[in-house]
Amino acid sequence: MVLKRKHSSAEELLESPKRSRPVVEETTTPVSSHGDIFSFCPAEIKIQVFSLLDEADTANLSRCSRSFYAFSWGLRFKSVILDEKSIKIFQTGGLGEHGCHHISSVRLGKKYKWSKNASKLGAYFCGDKIDTNGALDQMRAVLALFPNLQRLSLSYHISTAAENNTYVAIFNEISRHPTMWSSLEYLGIEAVKVPEMDPKGCYQKSGELYGKLYSELSVENQRFLGDKVADGEVGKLLKERLETQGFPNLRKVKIAANCLAGPMSDPKSAYMKRTGFYYIPLLFAPQLQTLTVETTDSCHIFDIYGFTVRDDMKGRAKADFEAGLLDVFSKIKKLSLTTYDSPKPKDIQRIAYRFPNLTTLKIKMFNDRPCDGYTNNRIPYTSIKDLKHLETLNLPWPRSEEGCFKITRLQGQVKTWKQSGLDSLEIIDFRGKKDKATGFARVWSDTHAGYRIRFGAVYPCGNTSGYEDNHRRKLAAA
């Protein structure tokens, strides 16, 4: 409809004894009962209007009417955290239906603090009831709804029998969206694997358990996971799917899972052969700069899990971990690790060999406890001297059978590193477990040498009865 004024000038309005209502002429243009013409515009025009506005104007426009608010809901957010209920907002009929293409960052599921949840995320618990259909429904929805993601973080609980299939299915789905794999800059995978029975029996009967799980899935989820993927086939399937596309802009990756071999692990071990496929997608990320790996379990727990070399894994001289990944690792600048086992001298040697161009190295122990098990009172970090480009270093506070290493020993080690050619090293942080009653910390600087050491709170351990009081006196004097 069109509105016309009866009086054409302000003078005529002033002279009029009584204000007349506008004359309404009916037209054939349909209008809602509220007079909201915008609600009848095609979605393409609405999106074009909002694309010309900045954030403040978009927020103001959304307050003008219900239709403006409903349509702009999905356009006002670039980053979202989703769960089972919030995903529905972006599905057909939801408030954010038209905003999916504008979302650039999605996180699905709970974000865990792996360094604090060893007991919850470790391999000891089993038989927990998980909603596999629900988890897969959410995962499929996220990967289908948001084609223009630059940051994607997936956190999920899954049966150990479906671990291989789920990981392959994620990258199968990503590869179907060219705009996603070409624009993705950050990828985070957090997998909490739940054994269906005792851990050892779980892997011995993985095929049988997967068949039972598969029969209980919806048709869509059966199609999503596919037939059982054997341990030795995961890497092959991932390579076949990703080698034609890759991730040209992927710069940051986080991989977190219970019972996961880390970059310090022996590449020929069964530990790595079973879970090395988690690193295969890195082969197709030429711009990768930052890698974070978090896990919960020790090698001892890995053995309890039944991770022995099975027939389908025998005869492989090297695990997939070494197949081309050294070239990728050599380009990584920042590496962060959360580990359960104390790093041994060989582990540090592997880090220096595999990641020679690191500028930042952070190794964290569960609950900030000191790393122990060292004999002959030797500091395990000697090979750090081979990382010539290192600028920032975070390490667990080491201890031997005699107790925690004293600050003077660590200061001497840092001086040795500097003298060996680590000219760029500026910040060194030794961290231990903080005791609420007696925790302490200290920063020691050598301005002439150009670096700073932070001695974090460390829990008194071993033969350190006089060490704590002595350290407190040093702090008071400082």
Pair 230, 164: CB distance under 8 Å: yes
- Distance separating alpha carbons of residues 66 and 211, to the nearest angstrom: 49
Count of CB atoms within 10 A of residue 457's CB?
A: 17
- Distance separating alpha carbons of residues 255 and 189, to the nearest angstrom: 5
pLDDT value for 341 = 76
Question: Domains of the chain: which residue ranges?
Answer: 77-412
- Distance separating alpha carbons of residues 155 and 114, to the nearest angstrom: 12
Q: Which residues of the chain have pLDDT under 50?
A: 1-32, 123-127, 304-320, 434-441, 448, 458-478
pLDDT value for 431 = 77
Displacement of CA 412 from its chain's centroid (Å) = 36
Can you read off the two tokens belonging to residue 107?
């996180």
Pair 453, 445: CB distance under 8 Å: yes
Count of CB atoms within 10 A of residue 153's CB?
A: 19
Q: Is the dihedral of CA 26, 30, 34, 35 positive or negative?
A: negative
Q: Can you list the positions of beta strands (E) in 160-273? A: 186-194, 252-257
- Distance separating alpha carbons of residues 167 and 154, to the nearest angstrom: 11
pLDDT value for 373 = 54
**How deeply is 280 buried, as exposed, middle or buried, from its count of CB atoms within 10 A (0-12, 13-18, 19+)?**
buried
Nearest to 281 by CA among 305, 247, 230: 247
Contacts of 151 by beta carbon, 8 Å cutoff, 6+ apart: 79, 104, 105, 106, 184, 185, 186
Q: What is the largest CA-CA distance in the chain?
A: 106
Contacts of 109 by beta carbon, 8 Å cutoff, 6+ apart: 83, 138, 154, 155, 156, 190
- Distance separating alpha carbons of residues 250 and 252, to the nearest angstrom: 6
Q: Is 446 helix (H, G, I), strand (E, B) or coil?
A: strand
Q: How far is CA 146 from CA 25, 58, 215, 247, 285, in A?
A: 45, 21, 29, 17, 21
Architecture of domain 77-412: Alpha-Beta Horseshoe (3.80)
DSSP state of 65: -
pLDDT value for 363 = 92
- Distance separating alpha carbons of residues 263 and 116, to the nearest angstrom: 20
Contacts of 277 by beta carbon, 8 Å cutoff, 6+ apart: 164, 167, 234, 235, 238, 320
DSSP string, 159-186: EGGGHHHHHHHHHHHHHT-HHHHHH--E
pLDDT value for 476 = 42
Q: Can you list the positions of beta strands (E) in 295-356? A: 334-339
